[in-house]
């Protein structure tokens, strides 16, 4: 709020006419994607679908693990029991949000702050959803808040998430290299999915270099190869040449 007030004083937040106008009408966007299927090119469409799948799935999976760590939801092996349930909820929300023309409805790492405060059940999510619905009348006020006013909160969330790195076995190259690449690549590429991809690609390579290639599951090699192909495609290797 202090940064917002500073922006008001500086004259860079509010428009001369007052609060910025907000358009609540989403009907032009609802179902608009249907018309796009009329002139679709199958190969390009498949590449787009796979690209979004990799980004959304691994971004969500990484977020769920990070948030669950703070909620003490992980088992002794570091896995989230019945992870398919929150993944399904995220998939349905993402799809529905796209259909009605909103921004992506997905899992956010900022949820870790709510978990830290004790919100650890589905009831918390329902209450938050109802509060968001009630806050629609305040959208013009919220829209007047400059984006830089929220940066400090994001930095705080990032610092909270860093607590999890203490559980990594940094004295073992098997965890050091994939874990380090994952942590470094996330901020460098501004993508949780890219960070996870770096870790997944490097893990079987490191294990094989240590002579432990027999312990690497075939699925891990397939997943690593899939990410290499994903990066090649998104970098323009197929679409550009």
155-159 CB contacts, 8 Å cutoff, 24+ apart: 156/113, 157/109, 157/110, 157/112, 157/113
- Among residues 19, 21, 32, the alpha carbon closest in space to that of 102 is found at 32
Measured in whole angstroms, the distance separating CA 23 from the mean position of its chain's CA atoms is 26
C-beta neighbour count of 199 within 10 angstroms: 22
pLDDT digits (tens, 9 = 90+) for 215-232: 888 888 988 888 888 788
Q: Which residue has the tokens 């190969």?
A: 43
Task: Calculate mean pLDDT across residues 77-102.
Answer: 83
Lowest mean pLDDT among 154-158, 167-171, 227-231: 154-158
Q: Which residue has the tokens 């098997």?
A: 174
Q: What percentage of the chain exceeds 70 in pLDDT? A: 77
pLDDT digits (tens, 9 = 90+) for 180-191: 998 888 888 887
pLDDT on residue 205? 92
Q: Round to whole Å and give the CA distance between 174 and 224.
A: 15
pLDDT on residue 239? 41
With 0.75 as the threshold, say if the pTM is over it. no
Give the CA count within 13 Å in the CB-facing half-sphere of 77: 3
The residue among 193 and 26 whose pLDDT is bigger is: 193
How is residue 158 written in tokens? 């990032």
pLDDT on residue 222? 87
Helices (DSSP H) in the chain: which residue ranges? 2-10, 42-70, 84-99, 111-116, 122-134, 139-143, 151-161, 173-189, 192-209, 218-234
């Amino acid at each position: 709020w202090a940064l917002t007030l500073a922006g008001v004083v500086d004259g860079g937040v509010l428009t001369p006419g007052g609060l910025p106008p907000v358009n609540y009408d989403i009907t032009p966007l609802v179902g608009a994607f249907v018309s796009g299927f009329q002139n679709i090119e199958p190969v390009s469409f498949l590449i787009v679908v796979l690209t979004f799948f990799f980004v959304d799935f691994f971004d969500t999976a990484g977020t769920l693990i990070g948030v669950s760590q703070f909620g003490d939801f992980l088992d002794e092996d570091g896995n989230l029991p019945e992870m398919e349930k929150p993944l399904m909820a995220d998939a349905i929300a993402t799809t529905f949000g796209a259909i009605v023309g909103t921004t992506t409805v997905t899992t956010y790492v900022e949820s870790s702050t709510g978990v830290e405060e004790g919100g650890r059940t589905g009831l918390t999510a329902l209450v938050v959803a109802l509060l968001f619905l009630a806050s629609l009348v305040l959208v013009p006020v919220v829209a007047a808040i400059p984006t830089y006013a929220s940066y400090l909160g994001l930095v705080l969330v990032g610092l909270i998430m860093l607590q999890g790195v203490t559980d990594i076995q940094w004295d073992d190259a098997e965890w050091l290299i994939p874990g380090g690449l994952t942590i470094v690549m996330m901020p460098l590429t501004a993508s949780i999915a890219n960070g996870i991809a770096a870790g997944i690609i490097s893990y079987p390579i490191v294990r094989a270099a240590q002579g432990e290639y027999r312990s690497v599951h075939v699925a891990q090699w397939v997943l690593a190869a899939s990410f290499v192909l994903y990066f090649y495609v998104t970098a323009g290797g197929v679409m550009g040449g």
